Structure 1
Amino acid sequence: MAAAVPIEITVKSLSESGLKSIPSCFASKNLQDLEVIDPQEGTIPIIDFSLLTSSDPQHKSKIIQDLGRACEEWGFFLLINHGVSESLMKNIMDGLKGFSDLSDEEKREFQGNHVMDHITRSVFNADSKKVHCWRDFLKCFAHPEFHFLNKPTGLG
């Protein structure tokens, strides 16, 4: 019999624990019931941001429909031609990896107390009768002022 998984764990700690599958208390569906997409049948939707600002109403209409379909059918998409440089994206991803590697104690410095805090790190585990709602996230406001972490160094 497998040991029960405690509710107050983080995504990172669970992934590093050596488990080979997701504990059933964290699965909202029977994993055997999930559809698996054949790579030959579909690819991740690609949304071209430059078309959203197109002066051609047909291009604009099509990309808006594509965006809606991607959200409904996939829940995510790859955004291209958004104007964010490759180097900035790499620096952010490297910095977020560095944040992920911080100790839980260091991460607690960013624990948010209010939904409108400029920087919020949260571990959320809500227990319904059979399934735990589980998320571990970091939120940083970037507008109208840029707010970001002061560690790891180089991230902000």
Structure 2
Amino acid sequence: MTIVQVRATAMEENTGEMVNRPEYGGSIPVDNVQALASKDLKDIPIRYIRPEIESEEVLTDQSLQIPVIDISKLTVAGQPGYSDELAKLHVACKNWGFFQLINHGISESIDAMKKVTREFFKLPLEEKMKCAQIPNNIEGYGQAFVLSEDQKLDWGDMLFLLPLPIPQRNLRFWPQNPTSFRTTLDEYSTALHGVSMKLFKLISINLGIKPETISNIYEKCTQGIRMNYYPPCYEADKVLGLAPHSDATGITLLVQVNEVEGLQIKNNSKWVPIKPVPGSIIVNIGDVMEIMSNGEYTSIEHRAMVNFEKERISIAGFHSPGIEAMIGPLKELVKEKTPNYKTITSEDYVRLIVNSKLDGKSLIDHMKI
């Protein structure tokens, strides 16, 4: 059965529950990379080959790592270590755009989500394709941001779902196999949103505005959870699991499902491999947070590399303002300053995201005045 036949069959068998969510566009269907990697390939298809990788410098100095933030020291203002850790968070957001969060209190939810994610990607292709993307929709199983037939492709597959806001959940894309997937994702979504709200309050404090300023904007946030599967590749030094980009959202919380590393961030025009701290959540500032902070914090380009022999699996949680919000610099931060970015509706911003391919910081460049 071909990929196209599998997709058509899956759509017939799983029409599911439709919701009143606007259509913003989608991605062109492409071959499943996990299935492609399982074949005895003599040559990697040319659409996956990235010649530019050879000329880009990757730092091998393991001492250069993103900051580690202990959020347990930031629960009560004035407690021992609070001021130092808050200052450390500010430096992480301002100078790095990335940090690792420890003692976050949601390890149980993370472990459960890792388990069902592993189980999902182990399923036969026909079973996974029951959750396949459909035209003009960003959710489902497949690839994202494929906008043309000649575009370079990433060496990876993903399952992308929108758990929040709850009334707009589209269960048509939520796997029923494994059987615990839906309840696990529901609990994970809530736990992850709780951590993000704590971070928004701390970020507001560091920006010199009321603690609830940013968290109020994200109270009814749009949350996307993307489960990433990067198969091994015998020419891993010539392909990318995920092309260089900055996240278009407000803040991203990423967990590593297995021990295979692959995340790299751009620092001073060089790529820095990230070594995850066991049990941590890797957090990064997105484009919306750069815009809202009027450039005080900046989103950082990053990419996902592929391993020669082992699969890599990760789960990214994206948090954006609700669809009724405006995307622009916070008025509290531009009272006596000139705004550096445009202000547009969330709906227009989402359309801009969906109809753009991953290309460095091109989206933020579009928003600059």
Q: TM-score, normalised to structure 1's length?
A: 0.63
User: 2:175 matched to which residue of 1?
Assistant: 149
CA contact (8 A) 2:141 2:159 kept: yes
SS for the counterpart of 1:43 is coil
Identity of aligned residues (%): 25
* In structure 2, C-alpha distance between the alignment counterparts of 1:138 and 1:96, rounded to whole Å: 9
Deviations 1:15-36 (A, max 9, x none): 3335699655324452222222
Counting only pairs closer than 5 Å after superposition, residues 9-88 of structure 1 correspond to structure 2 as 9-17=31-39, 25-28=47-50, 30-50=52-72, 55=77, 59-71=85-97, 77-85=99-107, 87-88=108-109
* In structure 2, C-alpha distance between the alignment counterparts of 1:54 and 1:15, rounded to whole Å: 49
Residues 36, 99 of structure 1: CA spacing in aligned structure 2 closer, same or farther, 3 A cutoff?
same
Q: Does 1:123 align with 2:123?
A: no
Give, in angstroms, the shift of residue 54 of structure 1: 6.1
SS for the counterpart of 2:181 is coil
SS for the counterpart of 1:121 is strand
CA contact (8 A) 1:51 1:63 kept: no
Residues 53, 126 of structure 1: CA spacing in aligned structure 2 closer, same or farther, 3 A cutoff?
farther
CA contact (8 A) 1:126 1:133 kept: no
Give, in angstroms, the shift of residue 100 of structure 1: 0.7
* In structure 2, C-alpha distance between the alignment counterparts of 1:98 and 1:140, rounded to whole Å: 17
Aligned length: 142
Give, in angstroms, the shift of residue 150 of structure 1: 1.9
SS for the counterpart of 1:142 is strand
User: 1:3 matched to which residue of 2?
Assistant: none
* In structure 2, C-alpha distance between the alignment counterparts of 1:93 and 1:33, rounded to whole Å: 35
What letter corresponds to residue 151 of structure 1 in structure 2? N
User: 1:103 matched to which residue of 2?
Assistant: 124
* In structure 1, C-alpha distance between the alignment counterparts of 2:129 and 2:85, rounded to whole Å: 46
Residues 13, 116 of structure 1: CA spacing in aligned structure 2 closer, same or farther, 3 A cutoff?
closer
Residues 63, 12 of structure 1: CA spacing in aligned structure 2 closer, same or farther, 3 A cutoff?
same
Residues 32, 122 of structure 1: CA spacing in aligned structure 2 closer, same or farther, 3 A cutoff?
same
* In structure 1, C-alpha distance between the alignment counterparts of 2:42 and 2:49, rounded to whole Å: 14
Q: Structure 1, unaligned stretches of length 5 or more? A: 1-6
Root mean square deviation of aligned Cα:
3.7
Deviations 1:103-151 (A, max 9, x none): 222122212335475xx2232444475x514352212333343875321
Q: Structure 2, unaligned stretches of length 5 or more? A: 1-28, 183-369
Q: Does 1:138 align with 2:164?
A: no
CA contact (8 A) 1:48 1:81 kept: yes
Q: Does 1:93 align with 2:93?
A: no
